[in-house]
Structure 1
Amino acid sequence: MSVSTSTAPETPARAGRARVGRLFEGAARANRSIPVLVVLAIIWAVFYSQSSAYLSFQNITNLTLQIVTTAILALGVVFVLLVGEIDLSSAVLSGVCAAVAAGLVVNHGQPLAVGIAAGVATGMVVTFIEAQIIMFGVPSLIVTLGGMVILQGLILVVLPPEFTVSVAGTPFAKIASTAVPAGASYGLAVAGTLAYTGYRLFQRRERLSTGSLSSLAAVVVPSVVVAAVLFGGVYTLTQQRGLPLPLLILAVMLLIAWYATTQTRYGIHLYAVGGDREAAQRAGIPVRRMVLYSFLVLGVCAAIAGMVDSSRQLGVSVTSGAGPLMLNAIAAAVVGGTSLFGGRGSIWAALLGALVIGSISNGVQLLGLSTEVQYFATGSVLIVAVAVDVVLTRGSLLSGRR
């Protein structure tokens, strides 16, 4: 005897939820940078409507300087998230690296290059140790949480008895105070535009050689957009005193990271490990080594972020790397489009996410609003970003819900 089954008729409420779910899923699966840019535009519009000074040349310059530390640290966090791990200690590590570098330059009279090299080496050694423990099977959340506590004690050991190092008037302070003149800045914009256009032309030629269709507009339009962004940014930032060196450091790091993750075999392995670690292992990809490399990159980024921040603050103390820096770096990576589940994201997420988080903080400070407003806004944006990430990972906003 056959048993017939019937499906319950779809109620209007359920149909409405399904339509909303499909709407969010479609938006989530689009280019991840587009929703971020839309959110950024909304944030700027809201704060500009409250104060016209928000988009002034001076405030935009301040905003870019404020986000550099977060963006550099978030860049390292992106590498760790891409392999399916997480780190909670890199903010405090940035303070330890800055203390090592500043101590050598200021208190021991070492050249700036020696101090920077020592700071970077410190970051790599710490993350190397953490990665080794993680590769033994201890969850990265626990390892880096414990590492954060240890590093909070280590910075007390590294700092002198007065627990502070002032870098004012030393070569260390020039890291943040140096600015590239307008002429050289425009030269860099020209070089960047030409390099990008050449890259797009090379891509078009590769497609044509394989028989794929590729219009010239695919080269011209993106190149014009990049040129507008570069020249507009240089024009805006040089209205004050020139292109800030920290911003140039960030740009160089982003370009190197972009090339490594998109144009090399290392990048292919990186995404493969984060997407499916077991499949990557079966394919012969050195999973343990890729995890190690990601943490080493984070160590370098943490060291550079700490030194840039201490140069801008003109000193290192026990509070260096403390506060919301770690939360902001993780939030920037996730808000910018990097998945918490690994295998999906872009290097540019660090910059876009830092812009979103920094724009909220900058606007709150400019308008004299309470800190609670900043926390509410930042937390809300982070929750929405993670919800989008869950959609992309599970395939549905309403997965598992009835």
Structure 2
Amino acid sequence: MTAATSDNPRTPLSFRIVAGLSGPYRSIPVLFVLALIWIYFYSQNSAYLTSNNIRNLSLQIVTTAILALGVVFVLLVGEIDLSSAMLSGVCATVAAQLAIKSGWPLWLAILGAVAVGLLFVFAEALIIIFGVPSLIVTLGGMVILQGLLLVVLPPEFTINIGGTDMAKISSTYIPAGWSFALAGLGWLLYCVARYRSHRQRGAAATSSTLVSVGVPALISGVVIAATVAVLSPEQGIPLPVLILVAMLLIASYFTSQTRYGAHLYAVGGNREAAQRAGIPVSRMVVHSFLVLGVCSAVAGVVEASRLLAVSNSSGGGPLMLNAIAAAVVGGASLFGGRGTVWAALLGALVIGSINNGVQLLGLSTEVQSFATGGVLILAVAIDVVITRGSLLPNRR
């Protein structure tokens, strides 16, 4: 749907709404739902929006958000992944084995874990570009990883990482002064990228510099400053949060400011057209899964550091469902070609806010499952409407 069609006053309101949700306003429903969640839980318990609980929430969502970031890259090219959560558990176990059992330096152990993640997803990607559906490949990969996790674990099926350098990842905090300085640098880089994008559109731009650059810069600046102020009054910003933000900024740059990003969206939007345009489709699919492999390894190490152990349950539970739900709820399309990397953060905030509120109120886990599943179904329904281009059901 073109901008001209969506701006035409004769265009039905439903089509204009769909056009807006598929473009620049895709995150508005997510933010609205997030606000409703916060208001509800705050009305039930005033401790919900305190700085301590928000800091806890930020630590709780880091693993899901990092994993969801990798899932977003796979969704953008029109594929799906079901194995990255178990891969995160395997990678975390490899890092713990190398750093604690074998005495490797932590940075080298983490690189070893990343290498394992890359090798596994590379093998999956080769099978996928051969023609096997990614759903089947990654489902089989998940089962293989469940067995591999038992192989890399010691006979007692657990490694305690408390008191080690690996445990310090989640217990390290960036002082408030450095937090504000890093946040300011990130905000400046965002403003520069926004201005460059506006200039590149040139005459095709339909909005002024003030609307396209100034307003987003002002809003983002206020949000960033408020977030840092809330998270860093005592100890500072947790290091895992900084790792997540750095990964999001790097991913945002490559997907929005480079040819790689344009090819990524082209492959997901119309694979056959991208192939005819000379875009290396198979290579883009492989690259997306490689990004997922890195995200899985980092997410696993961060989660192990937070839990102070790896075991045969690492990477299990609802982590995979939460990561996929976060990516889709945040705005990444299951049909490929739509969404941004920030969907991982927004979706993880929605899922994490529900889980955190349920725990704070002492509600049963059934309520948490009902709420998460309901939000996921609603997000997919919205995605279907946007893909179809109409609020009305198909006529058969």
Given that 1:97 and 1:123 are in contact with CA atoms closer than 8 Å, whether structure 2 keeps it comes out as yes
Structure 1 residue runs of 5 or longer lacking an equivalent are 1-18
1:281 aligns with 2:281: no
Given that 2:197 and 2:257 are in contact with CA atoms closer than 8 Å, whether structure 1 keeps it comes out as no
1:351 aligns with 2:337: no
Separation in structure 2 between the aligned mates of residue 174 and residue 284 of structure 1, nearest angstrom: 47
Classify 1:375/1:210 alpha carbon distance in 2 versus 1 (closer, same or farther; 3 Å).
closer
1:134 aligns with 2:128: yes
Among 46, 49, 65, the residue aligned to 1:52: 46
Given that 1:207 and 1:214 are in contact with CA atoms closer than 8 Å, whether structure 2 keeps it comes out as no
Among 227, 232, 235, the residue aligned to 1:238: 232
Separation in structure 2 between the aligned mates of residue 265 and residue 48 of structure 1, nearest angstrom: 44
Given that 1:101 and 1:119 are in contact with CA atoms closer than 8 Å, whether structure 2 keeps it comes out as yes
- The residue identity in structure 2 corresponding to 1:326 is M
Tell me the alpha carbon deviations over residues 132-164 of structure 1, each in whole angstroms, 9 at most, x when there is no partner: 111111111111111100100000000111111
1:75 aligns with 2:65: no
Indicate the SS of the match to 2:337.
coil
1:312 aligns with 2:312: no
Separation in structure 1 between the aligned mates of residue 161 and residue 328 of structure 2, nearest angstrom: 33
Among 345, 366, 369, the residue aligned to 1:372: 366
Of 148-157 and 188-197, the range deviating more from structure 2: 188-197
Normalized against structure 1, the TM-score is what?
Answer: 0.91
- What's the CA shift for 1:197? 3.1
Separation in structure 2 between the aligned mates of residue 281 and residue 314 of structure 1, nearest angstrom: 46
- What's the CA shift for 1:230? 1.3
Tell me the alpha carbon deviations over residues 219-246 of structure 1, each in whole angstroms, 9 at most, x when there is no partner: 3322221221111111111124111000
Separation in structure 2 between the aligned mates of residue 188 and residue 129 of structure 1, nearest angstrom: 37
Indicate the SS of the match to 2:64.
helix
- What's the CA shift for 1:130? 0.5
- What's the CA shift for 1:199? 3.4
Partner of 1:219: 213
- What's the CA shift for 1:292? 0.4
Separation in structure 2 between the aligned mates of residue 306 and residue 147 of structure 1, nearest angstrom: 17
1:175 aligns with 2:169: yes
Given that 1:74 and 1:350 are in contact with CA atoms closer than 8 Å, whether structure 2 keeps it comes out as yes
1:88 aligns with 2:63: no
Separation in structure 1 between the aligned mates of residue 16 and residue 209 of structure 2, nearest angstrom: 31
Separation in structure 1 between the aligned mates of residue 395 and residue 207 of structure 2, nearest angstrom: 43
- What's the CA shift for 1:77? 0.2
Partner of 2:106: 112
Given that 1:85 and 1:140 are in contact with CA atoms closer than 8 Å, whether structure 2 keeps it comes out as yes
Partner of 1:249: 243
Among 327, 331, 334, the residue aligned to 1:340: 334
Partner of 1:13: none
Indicate the SS of the match to 1:165.
strand
Separation in structure 2 between the aligned mates of residue 206 and residue 284 of structure 1, nearest angstrom: 23
Normalized against structure 2, the TM-score is what?
Answer: 0.93
Partner of 1:145: 139
1:298 aligns with 2:292: yes
1:158 aligns with 2:152: yes
Separation in structure 2 between the aligned mates of residue 20 and residue 374 of structure 1, nearest angstrom: 35
1:398 aligns with 2:381: no
Partner of 1:387: 381
- The residue identity in structure 2 corresponding to 1:75 is L
CA RMSD of aligned residues (A): 1.9
- Higher Cα Rg: structure 1 or 2? 1
- The residue identity in structure 1 corresponding to 2:352 is G
- The residue identity in structure 2 corresponding to 1:338 is A
Identity %: 66
Partner of 1:10: none
Given that 2:15 and 2:389 are in contact with CA atoms closer than 8 Å, whether structure 1 keeps it comes out as no
Indicate the SS of the match to 1:346.
coil
Partner of 1:33: 27
